Structure 1
Amino acid sequence: MNKSELIDAVADATEMGKGQAGLVVEAVLDTITNALVSGETVSLIGFGSFSVKERAARTGRDPRSGQSIEIKASKNPVFKAGKGLKDAVK
Structure 2
Amino acid sequence: MDKTVTRAMLGESVADATGLSRHDAVQIGERMFELIGDALKRGESVKLSGFGTLDVRSRAERIGRNPRTGQEHRIAPHHTVVLIPSARLRDALEPPKAARKAQK
TM-score interval (norm. to shorter):
0.7 to 0.9
Q: Where in structure 1 are there 5+ consecutive unaligned residues?
A: none
In the TM superposition, residue 15 of structure 1 has moved relative to its aligned partner by 0.9
Q: Provide, for residues 20-76 of structure 1, a one-character-per-residue CA deviation record: whole Å limited to 9, x for no partner.
A: 00110001111111111110000112210111111011233444253x432210101
Q: What does residue 14 of structure 2 align with?
A: 10
Give the CA RMSD over aligned residues.
1.6
Count residues with an aligned counterpart: 89
Q: What does residue 85 of structure 2 align with?
A: 81
Greater fraction of residues in strand? 1
TM-score with structure 1 setting the length: 0.86
What percentage of aligned pairs have identical amino acids? 34
Q: Where in structure 2 are there 5+ consecutive unaligned residues?
A: 95-104
* 1:53 pairs with one of 43, 52, 57: 57
* 1:29 pairs with one of 30, 33, 55: 33
Which structure carries more relative contact order (alpha carbon 8 Å, separation 6+)? 1
